[in-house]
Amino acid sequence: MTGWLDALIQGILLGGLYALFAAGLSLIFGVMRLVNLAHGDLIVLAAFIILLLAEKLGLDPFAAVLVAAPVLFTIGFALQYALLNRTLGRDLLPPLLVTFGLSIMIQNGLLQLFSADSERLRSGAIETASIALGGGIAIGVVPLLTLLSAIAVIVVLNLIFYRTPLGRAFRAASDDLEVAQLMGIDHNRIFATAMGLAFVVIAIAALYLGLRANFDPTIGPARLLYAFEAVIIGGLGSFWGTLAGGIVLGLAQTVGARIDPEWQILSGHLAFLVVLGLRPRGLFPRAVD
Amino acid sequence: MRDGAPQLQAYRIATAGPGSRAALAIACMILILLAVLPAFAGRNLIQDLIFLFYMLALAQCWNLLAGYAGLISVGQQAFVGLGGYILFALTLLAGLDPLLAIPLAGVASAVFALPTALVVFRLRGAYFAIGSWVVAEVYRLVFAQFKGLGGGTGTSLVPSITSNVLGIEWVKSMFDVRTPAARDIISYWAALALMATTLGFVYVVLRSRRGLALGAIRDQEAAAAGLGVDIYRLKLAVYVATAAVTGMVGALIYLQKARISPDAAFSVLDWTAYVIFIVVIGGIGTIEGPLIGAIIFYLLQRYLADFGAWYLILLGTLAITVMLFAPRGLWGFVAERYGVTLFPTRRRLVSGAGKGKGG
């Protein structure tokens, strides 16, 4: 019984990580209907940037992410402004192909620069610290921080979307791009800002990716799939839905792993397909698309 | 024309364009030449051509899916792997001849494609792309569980299977070669037949009434629906048909490789990314595009693959550049400029009464 309860708790905490992966994807889809196939590889890229900063500047990863965030915001802004904005339009193929090409370029670029070795972000005692809940169940501090950070990211994103002029512009561009343009919104800048913001979320996701487990240049695509599944399970257009989707996915994986360790990833995918079969618009749908 | 009546210009509908009849004749000649090639060619060339043929067949399938039916799949490796594994199961476990197992792998892929489609068709556009990828991962993880086929590490075809392919004795005496070379020649013919059939199939489909409907979906899906095209059924038919061909190609690929593992058989890079790059660089939405793209890809692979990661970075850059600056690919650029078409599928109005009929 304790084992199952433990699996449930670990599943919810793992869901926090998947929600962080998914929040950036959800954000850029919400604003500009862009499905970024390089999202997972960008998370891995960010993890390597944090690693590099931590090593070169002698910083703790939690401090390195503060340095990495503005750098990543700039990269995201530039990427959207210079490249991805050109691909947006009625045709679906250009954004998909360009981000798919980027995904392969990032993977192989990282492979060339950092080799295929597994890396990890080191942060001293906090990595292994845990809080005993009694009854033989303990929760790790890092997994707990991951979930709390996911909640914080979603609260902040909701505040930006619904309480600021920038968020109003995001929602306007999302609802009706042409009318938004007529109202004087420079959609190229708005989209680039949204991508910059998504890259900051990616930096936070990368921090916990690197603290919780090993990473190497090839693991990006699997992270993209988890992020995508969390978004679809939760329902498009709602950040809280994305959190719920991440938790459903995390639970499915840990419960599957509890039955047979080899089934962890498979049971996550199957949970996604079941939700898709029963509720194609996700558990908490908002957007119509 | 009757006297006094206004002069009416007669029109007919034609599909053939300048050069296309000559192209058909040349294509037939090339096909015959390729069929007798093993009599003169060395083993390296035969192996290279097998690779070129199966990549071309995969590219034609993906082109039909994405370029016409609007189904941008990133999960076609599901059917390559499925076909490969079914060939291994039928030959290793059921003792069937590999050449008979290839068409059965196609049938099985179509059978699996139907329920797969029912799930992934719930996702639209870009979501379909990632959804199809998830399904391919599910196939990979499920096949890794089959201990009889080597589980996660994979398995090999035993020599007694690969050396006793139907017709191998005849090839050995005919071309006076040893068993491995004779195996390659049979795989080569199978690959050639599969590639030519795929090309012919895509061409016939696109010239038919359904092809017209597919072109309409490609150009404007909502308008096509408005004109009475049953979009769901047509997309489903294309998805299942391309899955069948992709499964047969997969079976052939792994018969040739004689070794299979889940990670290789369901590789998104080998069986989908390369294929997408071939179609996009050559020109999506045309039959000629994948042909050009496959030849370019073959040359790049042959001369640059040793550069490893740099080669893949170059390939990604090339695909992005083509998509941004020449979205219709190299063939689109040529066709627009010179008005040539080798495999005419477009219907054009031609003035002057004639014997031609609408294709």
List the single residue in B276, B308, B312 with the smallest CB-CB distance to A97.
B276
Q: Is residue B242 assigned to a domain? A: yes
Q: Which of A54-58, A184-188, B21-25, B178-182 has the lowest mean pLDDT?
A: B21-25
Residues in chain B: 359
Burial of B338 from C-beta contacts in 10 A (0-12 / 13-18 / 19+): exposed
pLDDT digits (tens, 9 = 90+) for B25-35: 888 899 999 99
CATH code, A227: 1.10.3470
Shortest CA gap B306–chain A (Å)? 14
Chain B nearest CA to A92, separation (Å)? 7
SS3 content of chain B, % helix, strand, coil (to 5): 70, 5, 25
Q: Measuring CA to CA, how many Å separate B153 from each of B76, B254, B259?
A: 22, 15, 10
* Residue B1 belongs to some domain of the structure: no
Partners of B260 in the beta sheet?
B155
Q: What is the pLDDT of residues B92-149, one digit of tens each?
A: 999 899 999 999 999 999 999 999 999 999 888 888 999 999 999 999 999 999 988 8
Residue A167 lies in a domain: yes
B20 falls within a domain? no
Question: If pLDDT is split at 50, 70 and 90, which confidence band does B160 have?
Answer: confident
Specify the number of domains making up chain B: 1
Residue A271 lies in a domain: yes
Whether residue B62 contacts residue B73, with contact meaning beta carbons closer than 8 Å, is answered with yes
In a domain, B22, yes or no: no
pLDDT at residue number B357: 40
Collect all residues of chain A within an 8 Å Cβ-Cβ radius of residue B263: none
Q: Which helix (H) or strand (E) holds B155?
A: strand B155-156
Buried b (16+ CB within 10 A) or exposed e, B23-57: beeebeeeeeebeebbeebeeeebbebbbbbbbbb
HSE on the CB side for A180, CA within 13 Å?
21
Nearest Cα of chain A lies from the Cα of B123 at a distance, in angstroms, of: 8
Strand partners of residue A119: A215
Please name the residue that has the structure tokens 């390369």. B274
Distance, in Å, from the CA atom of B218 to the CA atom of B67, rounded to the nearest integer, reads 7
For residue A198, is it within any domain? Answer: yes
Asked if residue B13 is part of any domain, the answer here is no
Residue of A nearest to B318 (CA): A101
How far apart, in Å, do the first and last CA atoms of chain A sit? 42
What is the extent of the structural domain holding A156?
A: 2-115+123-278
Task: Please list the alpha-helical segments (H only) found in B121-145.
Answer: 125-143
d(CA B85, CA B277): 25
Residue A283 falls inside a structural domain: no
- Whether B347 and B358 have beta carbons less than 8 Å apart is answered as yes
The band of B7, judged by pLDDT with boundaries at 50, 70 and 90, is low
Examine residue B45 and state whether it is found in any structural domain, yes or no. Answer: yes
Within a domain: A288: no
Full residue range of the structural domain in which residue B297 is found:
34-351
Residue A240: inside a domain, yes or no? yes
| DSSP secondary structure code for residue B39 in this structure | G
Domain total of chain A? 1
| CB-based contact, B134 to chain A, within 8 Å | yes
Residues of A with CB under 8 A from a CB of B: 35, 37, 83, 86-87, 91-98, 100-102, 104-105, 107-109, 111-112, 221-222, 224-225, 228-229, 232, 262, 265-266, 269-270, 272-273, 276-277, 280, 289
**Predicted confidence (pLDDT) per residue in A220-256, tens digit:** 999 999 999 999 999 887 899 999 999 999 999 999 9
- Assigned domain for A287 exists: no
Say what the pLDDT of residue B358 is: 39
**In the numeric block, which tokens belong to residue A88?**
């947006």
Residue B9 lies in a domain: no
Q: What is the pTM of this model?
A: 0.91
